[in-house]
Amino acid sequence: MSDQSRTPRPPGSGPAAGHRGAGHPDGGAAAGDQGVGALAAQFGVQAAALAGQEVALAKAELRATARQAVRGGIPLTVAAVLGASAWLTGLAAAVLGVSEALPPWAAALVITAGLAALSGVLALLGGRRLARINPGLPLTAESIRQALRELRPGARR
């Protein structure tokens, strides 16, 4: 036997000092329970930080989508203005055709055809740009999926 085994130990300093049973005055709350509380608090802080990061990512994705929408909408707006101009020029050509001989309204029809062709090209360009916009939030969705996979390490992936 060693000297340590012969030396009396103060109460609560033995190998089971951290273990407190149901008969203990604190009702069985172990020192490890404080660790659980700390883990729960840490989880709350990390979950809040993760939620903030996900919101920031969603905002960035929405800004990018809005920029794409503006880039597609500008040609459509110009196409609408040119289409209206073509309509007004067409009306002017019809008026000139009725009131004058062939040459004045023929010139107006040439201008109308040119404006209408340009309007069609711009409408196609803007429509294609708008069709490429992904309204979802793919980066945010993938980030959330990744976070959930990390929170459930034993789950199938």
Structure tokens at 88: 């007004």
The mean pLDDT of 28-46, rounded to a whole number, is: 73
- The CA distances from residue 116 to 39, 75, 129, 132, 138, in Å, are 68, 14, 20, 25, 38
- Extents of the domains making up the chain: 67-157
pLDDT at 24: 47
Are the CB atoms for 57 and 140 separated by under 8 Å? yes
pLDDT > 70: what percent of the chain? 69
Mean pLDDT across the chain:
75
**Confidence (pTM):** 0.37
At residue 71, does pLDDT exceed 60?
A: yes
Tens digits of per-residue pLDDT, 107-152?
A: 777 777 877 898 999 999 999 998 888 777 888 888 888 888 888 7
Tens digits of per-residue pLDDT, 10-21?
A: 555 444 444 444
